[in-house]
Amino acid sequence: MKQNFKECCCLIYSDLNAIGGGNLLRRLLFNPSFQVTFWYRIARFLMLKHSPMYYPAALMHRHYGHKYGIGLPVNVEVGEGLCFAHFNCIF
């Protein structure tokens, strides 16, 4: 599924609302579930666009995935409102 930047932003904000909303930057810095889902959305968007910026985004996604034990491959399509209630051993 091809997506544009606006759709990617809508998915990110739906994920933010699924964990209770609030400040995007604060959630990105301090919420493990949102860190993984944010970088998943960015890496997937860049992968579908065949952008060379995919590689740094995928590296960030992999870093947070390993750090918090959430295995979410970038090639998997996930709908809106993605939220992990706990962040350990999810593969």
Pairwise CA distance, residues 91 & 73, whole Å: 9
CB of 70 within 8 A of CB of 90? yes
Give the pTM. Answer: 0.91
pLDDT digits (tens, 9 = 90+) for 43-82: 999 999 999 999 999 999 999 999 999 989 999 999 999 9
Which pair of tokens denotes residue 67?
């750090």
